[in-house]
Amino acid sequence: MKNALAKSRPGIFFNSGFDPRFDAELCVACETCIDRCPPEALTMGDDDVPVVDFDRCFGCAVCATGCPSEAITMVNKPDFQAPPKNGKELKAAVLAGRT
């Protein structure tokens, strides 16, 4: 996992199939989710609601479980691609992430 997170786009080959969605009405801009996100996929947006880099997010839900105002909901990823089934597929995905 440490090696996967070091890639520029870990979310494309290491993914749960879920995306976080942020409720702007509930978010209090505390940045807890940004601090907790393992692959550093979150930044604060201009409207004080976190923005997701989906090339980095792998759908772990750590952000959602730590949100003090329950502003984050995990939803099915609409364009989910199943993770690599073996080393060959993983290598191809890693190489694709370098482009």
Site pattern 46..75 for ligand SF4 (x: CB under 6 A):
----x-x----xxxxxxx---xxx-xx---
* Number of amino acids touching ligand SF4 (CB under 6 A): 28
- Contacting range for ligand SF4; rule: CB under 6 A; set: 1-9, 20-28, 80-88, 91-99: 20-28
Quickly count: other Cβ atoms within 10 Å of residue 50's Cβ: 24
48-55: which pairs have CB atoms within 8 A and are 24 or more residues apart?
49/22, 49/24, 50/22, 52/19, 52/20, 52/22, 53/11, 54/11, 54/19, 55/8, 55/9, 55/10, 55/11, 55/12
Minimum distance, C-beta of residue 83 to ligand SF4, in the bound complex (Å):
14
Summarize as ranges the residues that interact with ligand SF4 (CB under 6 A).
20, 22, 27-33, 37-39, 41-42, 50, 52, 57-63, 67-69, 71-72
